[in-house]
Structure 1
Amino acid sequence: MQQFIFFRLVALFAFAVGALAGSIKDIKHVVLFMQENRAFDHYYGTMAGVRGFSDPNVQFNPSTNLTTFQQKVNAGLSPLATTLLPFYINYLGANWSAASQCASGGSNSWFNNHLALNGDLNDQWAWDNTAMSWTHFQRQDLPLHFALAEGWTLADMYQEGVIASTSPNRVTWMSGSINCPGGPQTPEQGGIVTDNSEGPGCEAPGLNCEPLYWKTVPEFHQDANVTWQVYQDVDNFGDDLLIDSFAQYQNAPADSPLTIYGSSYPGLQKFYDDAAAGTLPRVSWIVGPAELSEHATYGPQDGAWLQRQIVEAVVNGAAYNETVLMISYDETGGWGDHVTPFHSPSGTAGEWIEDPYGAVNYTYTGPGFRVPFTIISPWTRGGHVFTEHADHTSQILFMEEWLEALGYEGVRTTEIPAWRRAHMSNLVNAFDFDHPDYSIPSLPVIPTPHQDANGNWDGASICEAEYGHFGPPIPYGPANEALDPSTLSEDGFKNVRGYLTEGRYLIFEMNGYALTNPNPTATDFTATLATSTHNAKTQRWVLHATGGTATDGGAGAGTFTVTSALDGRYIKSHTSLGKGVSGAETYTIADLGSGLGYTLVKENGKYLTINSDGVIDITGTTPVGFQVYSVTYQQ
């Protein structure tokens, strides 16, 4: 009760001072927590308001006449079908909700994932990875994950750093690079990291040569007098790649900061205690135990219990009003995702190589497929979707912006490849520093994972002993092939943050009205009263990227043509609507940040607005921005 009163008083105080401008300097602690091996569609494809199974921009491959939801099936997989669409992992009911906790997906290897990508056609998950790659969970299976996403902010265009397994991605998370030729490192600093072979030695000349010798992010922090700590127990699943891969940590003496803060085992209880006391360092890295990592066959429910422990420690801690917690996943684990990765152009230095495994020929190393990413903080509270292109280097870029704002010098790493630094989001636009919300949502209670007599987590072993780990039979056949993936989605909406990208239905609201296509015979779009549920189909629009965020990552403004969800007509000159892309007007859409919304700029440089009387206006004066909602509705 005292705790509730404390946070209630904090919330009231925040409301009272809401007019005061905040900034990134209000953050005093950043906590980075990375789990294992889950893809975005696999966890969140059914969620409303995100780029999931209702994607209006889903990639269509003309050579096969299929979308990326329709994965190719050959006769060796099934004589009953030629495609496989996403299917619910517990579609058989009965005890499958328990059995699916330890079900295995596909392979997380470079080889199988590049084969599934199939030269950006992204259509061979069933064929060249596994059919189980194409399965997904629903809300009832992931109550804590959904609660965190809807309580704070979920990113739906956050990608793994490398199209590969754990080690390359965690090396990226902690250093910014895998030493792809042409990047900041030299071959003598360790060969390109593409798999989990952590040496010593080389897998082949110049390939997976370990240990590694380039400078990690915590070393930049240490040199700049930024306090930091890796919190982990002895069972860390080998996921602290500082000690597993980097020579400077392996060779550091016991009294070295690299040992004390990077390769020691203070335990997760130490994190909980420090969070409670408000004594966390500036930067905390959390590495969890294997059984709670969500790496198949370790279950999502056991991982959710660990996530709740960490979130509760932060939000109930003495310094929550100064703390950001980022929860990410290192790679997909062979679970599939329908969005072809946003990546650099062919030949980009530090990004492209000849495939050392022969799965494909010349290819990019990453960024890879989308993985879940949630930001817990007072400045991301409220169930938003963050839409900017991001990957594991984005967490590093965010810390650079934050620490420099606090006055630290020398925190900007020199180890991130140039294209990645220029085109991955620094995540700052996910935050509204002017309007923090210190309230805490109610989180579902998650059962404590099972332990053996010695206190070791053993839930996955029990699950496998009872159910195996192969998952349900694949539902090949006419019923699956006839599925409309959008029917898998929940109804609802999310407020958008960050520069806009494709993949969602959007509603643009200003002064209590929304941009509207009144009916299929109307010659112009208008404005009609907004609704609290943002569910009017006449008010839904789809963006089609033509530049900015589509081709080069953007700096906050992208260029788009716009179609109506009602009838597919394009916005053309002035306020007219018409069929076909010919003559469609290109809009530049910019995020103003701090809750101020988005500006829509026409080709003539003027702003599209809705005045207080609900009339469309075009003005040369910079307006208050549109509030933008990402919506998902079956009707």
Structure 2
Amino acid sequence: MNRSLRRVLAFAIGSLTVMGAGPLFTAVSAGASNGPGGNGNIGGLAGINHLVVIYDENHSFDNLYGLFPGANGISRASDTATTQVDLATGQPYTCLPQTDTHLVGTCLPDQPFDITKYVGADQKTRDLVHRYYQEQIQIDGGKMDKFVTVSDAKGLSLGYYPTDQLPIAKEAARYVLADNFFHAAFGGSFLNHQWLVCACTPVYAHAVSDGSSKDLHTILGSNGLPTKDGQLTTKATGDYAVNTIFPASKPTIPAAQLPLLTNATIGDELSGAGVSWAWYSGGWNNAVAGSADPLFQYHHQPFNYYANFAPGTPGRAHLQDETDFIAAAKAGTLPAVSFVKPIGADNEHPGYTDVLRGENHLRDLINDIRNGPNWSDTAIVITYDEHGGFWDHVAPPTDASHSDIWGPGSRVPTIVISPLAKRGFVDHTLYDTTSILATIERRWDLAPLGTRDANANDLRRAFTLGEGNA
């Protein structure tokens, strides 16, 4: 990284340190591990009686928290990671190519840049490609140097937001920010929502494989990028659904649909153990009634893909509207486990909304919980489903215990907020999306759904139960 960029980042991080003044930033080593706890391994999670997972959208860690003091941020990136390489020529860029209308005509150097100098955090950027095979090429075996060349948004993918402009950064400074948390699977929202609920990549039963228009398999070119970008993996890999495909159950749309799934989910395990839970989605009631908001995302409703939660089944009662969550938080009737999925206008997804609107919605949800009767034994986990096509400098893990052919993908921000949580704490422990499943499984004595959640570190290092935090 060149000296001028280091000076800019050092100044920005110093500004955030002033913003977050008060708590002392401490950290836990990335090598620390709480191990793959088995059933009954509740330990420091025992005081949590309500876990709220808020699943926001499409930002990498460096894109939002790359300037957070004490975190493994942009200033620690190597020149290899910050310098993006053109896939066709193998050479760095003289000027970053641009396709976002706010950036076209600029000649920015080949290094991370402050997006807000060109488009404010209260304005929408364009969307960026975030698909299964594309992200693997972007990661480039851990070099993290092909985000720009693969992206349809080109140079925008290398941009970042000044962390001190983010309302939720103040919560991260007060409580716990995890800076070594990766989204579970390469690619986009559909697949990562599935990994949040089943720790698995769904199989398309009886998939057509004849090369016709009904064949949904991907075909790759010699450079590893798709020449046909299908909903399924290549035929050689199998009939796995990895890119956006829609549910067979209503609400849905008339496009490629995944046959109903029957494998186990965390919802099945919670129900089987008599533990209360719900998936709360913004705009759900309107979508069920047939009047879906234009920014309601059907592929963000992972349980709607499963036979056990189809219309008319007992499990359907667990799928509720975000307004039901807000009412429960205010009334003190939260279930043991809540998954909250804001609608497109409120979830920070580029192209759908702007960062500040999504952050302000997060702040409102946090305050609804914090001001409600359940706050004293509640833990909030805010994370992002995937990187949204934005660059990050940290290579995902590749060891057999914490990775497989599906991922994990890039780092995403994760914040733990709770009266039971540590204060001013940057947690460097290795996590991915399945760490949320591991936390649920070990707190409520459930069996792991797969090998990844069985081996994942749960989030207990974020908590200091019994140490008097208020």
The normalised TM-score by structure 2 is 0.71
Match of 2:457 among 425, 428, 450: 425
CA 97–87 in structure 1, closer or farther in 2 if over 3 Å, else same: same
Q: Could you say which residue in structure 2 is the equivalent of 1:370?
A: 411
Query: Offset at 1:209?
Result: 5.3
Query: Offset at 1:198?
Result: 2.7
CA 79–275 in structure 1, closer or farther in 2 if over 3 Å, else same: closer
CA 134–274 in structure 1, closer or farther in 2 if over 3 Å, else same: same
Aligned residues: 363
Which letter maps to 1:429? R
Q: Does 2:322 correspond to 1:299?
A: no
Structure 1 counterpart SS, 2:141: coil
Q: Does 2:401 correspond to 1:341?
A: no
Name the structure where helix makes up a greater proportion of residues. Answer: 2
Match of 1:159 among 169, 182, 201: 182
User: Given that residues 157 and 390 in structure 1 are in contact (C-alpha distance below 8 angstroms), is that contact kept between their aligned partners in structure 2?
Assistant: yes
Structure 1 counterpart SS, 2:142: coil
CA 176–436 in structure 1, closer or farther in 2 if over 3 Å, else same: farther
Q: Does 2:82 correspond to 1:69?
A: yes
Residues 561-580 of structure 1: matches in 2 within 5 Å? none
Residues 82-161 of structure 1: matches in 2 within 5 Å? 84-92=110-118, 96-97=119-120, 101-104=123-126, 106-129=128-151, 130-142=154-166, 144-161=167-184
CA 78–49 in structure 1, closer or farther in 2 if over 3 Å, else same: closer
Following the alignment from structure 2 to structure 1, what is the Cα–Cα distance between the partners of residues 112 and 139?
Answer: 16
User: Given that residues 72 and 123 in structure 1 are in contact (C-alpha distance below 8 angstroms), is that contact kept between their aligned partners in structure 2?
Assistant: yes
Structure 1 counterpart SS, 2:383: strand
Residues 125-524 of structure 1: matches in 2 within 5 Å? 125-129=147-151, 130-142=154-166, 144-179=167-202, 191-198=239-246, 210-232=259-281, 233-234=283-284, 235=293, 236-250=296-310, 252-253=311-312, 256=314, 258-262=315-319, 265=320, 267-297=321-351, 298-345=353-400, 352=404, 364-404=405-445, 411-413=446-448, 415-416=449-450, 418-422=451-455, 424-438=456-470
Structure 2 counterpart SS, 1:302: helix
Structure 1: unaligned runs, 5 residues or longer: 1-21, 60-65, 182-186, 202-206, 353-363, 405-410, 439-635
Which letter maps to 2:161? F
Q: Could you say which residue in structure 2 is the equivalent of 1:24?
A: 45
CA offsets 1:332-351 (integer angstroms, 9 cap, x no match) = 11011011111334xx8x96
Structure 2 counterpart SS, 1:107: coil
Following the alignment from structure 1 to structure 2, what is the Cα–Cα distance between the partners of residues 43 and 401?
Answer: 30
CA offsets 1:107-156 (integer angstroms, 9 cap, x no match) = 111132122112322211112222211000003431x1211111211100
Structure 2 counterpart SS, 1:154: strand
Which of the pair has more CA radius of gyration?
A: 1
Structure 1 counterpart SS, 2:120: helix
User: Given that residues 165 and 331 in structure 1 are in contact (C-alpha distance below 8 angstroms), is that contact kept between their aligned partners in structure 2?
Assistant: yes
- The RMSD of aligned alpha carbons is 2.9
Structure 2: unaligned runs, 5 residues or longer: 1-42, 98-108, 205-234, 250-255, 285-292
Percent identity among equivalent residues? Answer: 23
Q: Does 2:92 correspond to 1:44?
A: no
Following the alignment from structure 2 to structure 1, what is the Cα–Cα distance between the partners of residues 179 and 467?
Answer: 23
Structure 2 counterpart SS, 1:119: helix
Relative contact order (alpha carbons < 8 A, sep ≥ 6): 1 or 2 greater?
A: 2
User: Given that residues 126 and 350 in structure 2 are in contact (C-alpha distance below 8 angstroms), is that contact kept between their aligned partners in structure 1?
Assistant: yes
Structure 2 counterpart SS, 1:327: strand
Following the alignment from structure 1 to structure 2, what is the Cα–Cα distance between the partners of residues 433 and 81?
Answer: 48
Query: Offset at 1:211?
Result: 2.8
CA 271–199 in structure 1, closer or farther in 2 if over 3 Å, else same: closer
Structure 1 counterpart SS, 2:443: helix
The normalised TM-score by structure 1 is 0.53
Query: Offset at 1:386?
Result: 1.1
Following the alignment from structure 1 to structure 2, what is the Cα–Cα distance between the partners of residues 379 and 135?
Answer: 34
User: Given that residues 34 and 328 in structure 1 are in contact (C-alpha distance below 8 angstroms), is that contact kept between their aligned partners in structure 2?
Assistant: yes
Name the structure where strand makes up a greater proportion of residues. Answer: 1
